[in-house]
Structure 1
């Protein structure tokens, strides 16, 4: 998606939200949140959603999600002591994969600071191969609740 479109994102474009209170250690030598922290946040909101809305329990589940792609478009910096609001949606839902989009907003500001993409492929824990039934009903059912549009379902 074009950066100009992503830059127009608003909190209402996302169906699930999570708050993160930045820490002093999140800042880098340039006095803003280090890019690696954004990926930490992406992983946190995605896994919070999977565990609370899709019945996924990573330490014991027979199925796990492997990250096969990720990227981030940065629009404006965030720095400690900011509180950020993360927004999550699914832009594409396949048989065993999902493409998430994560918006990063600073509390009290309308403009999106960054938009990330994160792709999971759900696989059997032991074989590391997708299962015949894909991601399964519980995971799919939870992810359908945050799908961006009906056209995105395969």
Structure 2
């Protein structure tokens, strides 16, 4: 069966359409794990996405209900992008992408933040990460999920 806005009704196809390009999952990583919110912050990421591609991907993520856009309370010219509940639901998928990706990398040190993430119980990590994002924080950084888990002794 064909959908009007995509190739099929297959859930895998929907996931690929929403996240399968080379930038959407990285933008969600920036929001969910690194706490980035603004266009300028996304542009400053190591992967160096172009402005027009970034604008298109942010629009697509908003259309698919993964992020919402609002005006910054401190600068009316600035738009902020926040993960929606649907976007927060991507956290387990992002975590598994990290686990899979580590297997293809040259060995990294135990002090690498992503290696620290992989040492935490998966269920505890996902729950803390989702709580943190819902509270306006992220995985890493001040007050993030990793700090919460460390304080709890996880």
- Structure 1 or 2: more strand by fraction: 1
Structure with bigger RCO (C-alpha 8 Å, 6+ apart) = 1
- Give the TM-score of the pair, scaled to structure 1: 0.30
- Give the TM-score of the pair, scaled to structure 2: 0.30
